[in-house]
Structure 1
Amino acid sequence: MSKSSQNHLPHLYPNIIKDVSAGEPGLIAGEIAAEDQGLISNSMLRSHSYGTIHKDPVAEETTEVVSDEHGGYALPKKQLYTVISSLFMASFLAALDATVVTTLLTLIASDLNAISNISWIATAYLLSCSAFQPLFGKLSDIFGRKILLILCSGFFAVGCMICVTDSLFWLVIGRFVTGWGGSGLTALGTITMSDLIPLRDRGFYQGLANVFFGLGSASGGIIGGLIADSLGWKYVFILQVPLAIIVGLAFYFNLNLPEGSPGLGAHGEDIKQKLKRVDFLGSFFLVSALMCILTAASMGGREIAYSSKTFISLVSLSAALLAAFVYTEFNISAEPIIPMELLGNRTVVSSSLANWFYTMGVFTYLFYVPVYFTSVMEFTATQNGLRLIPNFFGVSLGSVGAGMYMRRTGRYYNLTVGVGILSIYGVIRLLLISPKISLFEQFTLMLPSGIGYSCILTVTLLSLIASVPAKYQACTTSIQYTFRSTGSTLGVAIASAIFQNVLKSTLTTKVNALISDPQEASKIIARALENTNYTSEAPKVVRAAIRDSYALGCKGAFIFSTVTICLGYISSLFMREHKLHTRLERE
C-alpha cells in the first residue's frame, strides 16, 4: 500500500497513540544518595525483602496507634484536602490535554494548511510527556516537590498559550512544552501523595487519582469538540491556562511539607551545588533513547515503513542510547537518575513487568474492540462510544475498590491473584467474540478486564513503594512507570502490525477467490483497507469476506492481548507481600 493511502488509515495504523498510561500519575525518578557504603546496602534492602510480611500483618496493624497531630498524615486536613484536590485537578488536566485534540486533528490541520503533518499535533505532547517523566523525581529530590510542581503548572500554562497560533511549527512547540509540564504534574503527583499519605491509605487516594485521570482521558475528545464547535479550536487551549494557574497557586500556598520530609529536597545547598548533583549525562541518554523508541513505535508502519532505513536506524539508535544509559548509571553517575541496583529487588521487577505486560494487553483491546464493532458489526461512532461507558465505571470501581480493600486489610497479594484471574477471563471473552453477541455482552465486554487492570495499577504501585525504604520510593516508582509508558506504546504498535498483516493477507486471499478480475479485486481490497465502513458499500459478493477478514485481524490483536495479560499475571505472582504502614514514618 502506498504511503498516501496509509495517511487515510488512522483506524488501521493506530500509531498516533493516545497514551493515557504514559501520563498516569507517578512516573518519577527518585533520590539516590551517594553514600560511602554504596548505593544501596544489603542491610538497607534486607536482601531485597524490605518489609516482607512473614507473619500475620493484620494483627500488628490493628494494634498500631497513630499518635501524631495530623492522624498519620503530613498536613492538617484543610491543607491536605486542598493539595490532594489540586493534584487530582493536575492529573485531570494532563490526561485531558493528551486526548483533547483527538476530535480536532483534521480541523486544526486544515486551518493551518498542514494535513500532511497532522500526526505531529498529537504526538508532540505524548512524546514529550513520556520521555521527560523519569527526570522529575530526581529533580524534585534535589530541588523539592513544591517548586517543581509550580514550575510544571507554569510550563503547562505557557505551552497552552503557545498553542494559540496560526503556525504549525509553534503549535507543535506548544504541545511539546505542554507535554513537559503535564508529565511533571502527573509524575510528581504520585510521589507527592506518597509524601503526604501513609501507605495503608495510599491505595485509596491513588484509586481516586486514577479516576480523575481516566475522566480526563475519556472526556478530552468530547470537551474538545464542544469547545471547538462553540468558540473555536484555539479556546480549547486558552481555557486550560487559568486552570493550570489556579493549580500552581494552590501548591504555592498550601503544599508546606513538614520538616524532615523527603519532599523538601536537599538542605543546606545553594543552586550551584544542587545542579552539580543532577545526572545530566544519564538524563540525556535516557530521554534520547525514549524519544527514539517512542517515535519509531508511534510512526512505524505509518509515516515510516517498518522495513525502511529510518525505522531500523531509530530502533538501533535507541538500543545504543539505552546501553549508554545503563553504562552511565553503573559506572559514571554519582547519583544515578534510576539506580540499576534496585532491579535486583524481586517485587520491583515483578510489579514493573506486570504493569508492562498488562498495559500492552489492555491498550491493544481498547483500540481493537471499537474496530471490531465498526468493521464487523457495522456500529456507528455513537454506538461505539456508548459501549465504552461501562468500562470507565468499571475502571473507577476497580481503582477505588482496590484502595479500600488495602486500607481495610493491609494486604494486597490475594487481591492481585484474584483480579489477575478476572483479567484473563475478560480477554478470553474477547477471543470468543462474534457478531451474534447479545446487547448485554456488548456493553459488558471489557468490564472484567477493565476492573482487573485498574486494580493491578493500584496494587502494583503500592507493593513497589512498600518493598523499599521510604527514601527510595521515588526511584522505584519511576522504574515501574517507565515500564508502563513504553508498554502502552510498544503494545499498540505490535498489535497494529499483527492486525495489518492478518487483515491484508486474509483480504487478498478471500477477495481474489471471489472476484475473477485482478484489477477489480485489487480496487476492492484497497477500499476495504482504507475504510472500515466500506463493508456496507462493497459488492454483495465480497461483503462477508471483508467482515470475516476484519474479524480475523481483530482476533489476531486479541490473541496478542491475551498472551501479554497472561504474562503480566505470571509476573505479578512473584511480588512479595509487604507491610502497608499506617504512619508516614513506617513504624
Structure 2
Amino acid sequence: MNLHFVPTSFSDKLRRIDYIGSVIFIGSTTAFLIPLTWGGVVYSWHSWRTLVPLIIGSVGCGVFVVYEVYFAPAPIIPIDLFKNRTASVSFVSAGLSGLLVWCIVYYMPLYFQAVKEYSPVLTGVCIFPQTFTVAPAGAIAGVAITKTGKYRWAIWSGWALATLGLGLLCILEVGTSVPGWIFLNLVSGIGLGFLFPSVASAIQAATAAEHVPMALAMFSFFRSLGQAVGVAIGGVIFQNRMTANLLDYPNLAPNATAYGADAAGLVDIIKSMPDGQNKHDLQQAFVDSLRIVWAVCCALAGFGFLLSLLNQSYSIDQELDSSQGIVEKHQLRPHAEGTGV
C-alpha cells in the first residue's frame, strides 16, 4: 500500500479557496434567480427590472465557466465533472425533475382551489396522490438499486411514468370526479419518485471518487435551480394562455389582462364570484390554461426520457479516495461495467 499525507493546515485551506470564482458564481446565480421570483408578480416579464438581472446573471454564469476552465488555480467546481456523459446527462435530469416537481406542487393546488373551490386544508389533502407517492417510490427504487447494483432501469422507468402521468393531467376538466383526479395524479408522482435516488446513484457511480462530494452538491444545486425555474416557466405559460383564453369570452375579455396576471391571485377572485356562467367560464379558462402547462411539462419529461437513454452503466460500488488527510492508494477498479441496466 502507498500512504501519503496532504497538508491540511488552516492557512493552506484558505489559500486553496477560489475566492474570485465564488464571487462570480454567487453573484451570477443570485442575479438570475431573484427576477424569477418576481417576474409576472412584482414586475412583468417584459419589464427591464426583470430582464436586466436575468441577462446579467446568464452572462455571469458564462463568465464563471470560462474563468473556472482557463484561469482558476483551484476551481470550486471541477470541470472534469462535466466531461463524463452520464454525469452531464444526470445533472440535466436533476434540473428537469426539480422543475417538474415544483411546477406540479405549485399549480396543482391552484386547480383544486380555483376550479374545485376546495379550502386550503382540503387542498393539502387532495395533493396526497402526488406527495405521498414520491417518497415511497423513491425509497423502493433506492432499495432496489442497492440490492441489484443497477440504476438505469429506475431512471428509464421514472421518466417514462413521469411522461405518461403528466400527459394524463391534460385530461383534467372542471367536472373531473374525485376518483378521476386521484388516479390522474398517482402516475406522475410514482415516476418522479423513482428519479430522485436513481439520478443521484448515476452521478455517484459515473464520477471519479475524489469528485463525488462535489458531484452530489451539484446534483442538489441543479435540482434546486430546476425548482426555481419550474415555477417561473409555469407562470409565463399560464399567464399568456389565460389572457388569450379569456378573450374568447365577451363578458370576461375586458379583464383578461388583469385576471391572467397572477394565477394565485385569481383563486380569490373566482371564489368571491357568484355562481353563474361567468364563474364557470373563468374556471374553464383556468383549466384550459393549466392544460398547456401540463402539456409543456409532459414534453419536458419526454425529453428527459430520451436524454436518459444516453446513460452508461457503472458500478455503484465506489472506493473511497480523498485528497484530505491520509489516503491509502489501491489499484483502481475498472470504472465501467458491461451493459447492465
Give the whole-Å Cα distance in 1 for the aligned partners of 2:277 and 2:204: 59
TM-score (norm: length of structure 2):
0.85
* Mapped pair 1:385 → 2:124: yes
Q: CA deviation at 1:416?
A: 1.9
**SS in structure 1 of the partner of residue 118 of structure 2:** coil
Please state if 1:497 is matched with 2:232: no
Identity %: 22
- Which of 227, 249, 270 matches 1:535? 270
* Counterpart secondary structure, 1:446: helix
Q: How big is the shift at 1:426?
A: 0.9
Runs of 4+ aligned structure 1 residues displaced above 6 Å come to: none
**Equivalent residue number for residue 564 of structure 1:** 300
Aligned pair in 2 of structure 1 residues 335, 551: CA closer, same or farther (>3 Å)?
same
Determine if the alignment matches structure 1 residue 331 to structure 2 residue 70: yes
- The CA deviation at 1:475 is 2.3
Match runs of 1:53-452 below 5 Å: 267-452=6-191
SS in structure 1 at match of 2:247 = helix
Contact 1:292–1:317 under 8 Å retained in 2:
yes
- Contact 1:352 1:481 (8 Å CA) reproduced: no
Residues 371 and 554 of structure 1 are in contact (CA less than 8 Å); yes or no, is this contact kept in structure 2?
no
- In 1: Cα distance, 2:211 partner to 2:255 partner: 59
Q: CA deviation at 1:410?
A: 1.0
Cα distance, 1:524 vs. partner? 8.8
Task: Describe the superposition over 1:85-104 as per-residue Cα deviations: whole angstroms up to 9, x where unpaired.
Answer: xxxxxxxxxxxxxxxxxxxx
The whole-number CA distance in structure 2 between the counterparts of 1:469 and 1:583 is 10
Q: Per-residue deviation at 1:526? A: 4.5
Question: Is the CA contact (8 Å cut-off) linking 1:426 and 1:446 kept in structure 2?
Answer: yes
- Matched with 2:315 is 579
Please tell me whether the aligned partners of residues 31 and 53 of structure 2 are also in contact (alpha carbons under 8 angstroms): yes
Residues 561-581 of structure 1 deviation map (CA, whole Å, 9 limit, x = unaligned): 111111222222211111121
Measured in 2, the distance between the counterparts of 1:582 and 1:562 equals 34
Q: Which amino acid aligns with 2:241?
A: V
Other structure's SS at 1:338 match: coil
Taking the aligned partners of 1:425 and 1:378, their CA distance within structure 2 comes to 27
**Number of matched residues?**
317
C-alpha contact (below 8 Å) 1:358/1:564 kept by paired residues: no
Q: Does structure 2 retain, via aligned residues, the 8 Å contact 1:361–1:560?
A: no
**Any unmatched runs of 5+ in structure 2?**
322-331, 334-341
1:477 is displaced (CA, Å) by 2.1
Distance 2:181 2:320 in 1: 44
Deviation at 1:550, TM superposition (A): 0.5
SS of aligned partner of 1:278: coil
Q: Secondary structure at the match of 2:312?
A: coil
How far is 1:305 from its partner? 2.2
Give the counterpart letter for 1:561 in structure 2.
C
Distance 2:318 2:222 in 1: 28
Distance 1:303 1:534 in 2: 18
Distance 2:164 2:199 in 1: 20
Check the 8 A contact 1:395/1:451 in 2, yes or no: yes
Q: Please report how far the alpha carbon of residue 267 of structure 1 lies from its aligned counterpart in structure 2 after TM superposition.
A: 4.2
Give, in whole Å, the separation in 2 of the partners of 1:372 and 1:379. Answer: 9
Q: Distance in 2 between matches of 1:427 and 1:539?
A: 30
For the residue of structure 2 that corresponds to 1:318, the secondary structure is helix
Q: Matches of 1:384 and 1:548 in 2, distance apart? A: 19
- In the TM superposition, what is the alpha-carbon distance from 1:445 to its structure 2 partner? 3.2
Q: Displacement, 1:560?
A: 1.7
Partner of 2:290: 554
Match of 2:7, SS state, is: coil
CA distance in 2 between partners of 1:278 and 1:525 (Å)? 49
Distance 1:464 1:378 in 2: 42
Task: After superposition, give the CA deviation of every residue in 1:117-164 in whole Å (9 maximum; x if it has no partner).
Answer: xxxxxxxxxxxxxxxxxxxxxxxxxxxxxxxxxxxxxxxxxxxxxxxx
Q: Deviations over 1:39-70 (max 9, x none)?
A: xxxxxxxxxxxxxxxxxxxxxxxxxxxxxxxx
- Residues 321 and 533 of structure 1, relative CA distance in 2, 3 Å threshold: closer
Residues 172 and 181 in structure 2, CA contact (< 8 A), matched pair in contact too: no
AA aligned to 1:569 is F
Alpha carbons of structure 1 residues 467 and 524: separation in structure 2 relative to 1, 3 Å: closer
**Structure 1 unmatched ranges of 5 or more:** 1-259, 261-265, 516-520
Would you say the 8 A contact 2:166–2:297 is kept in 1?
Answer: yes
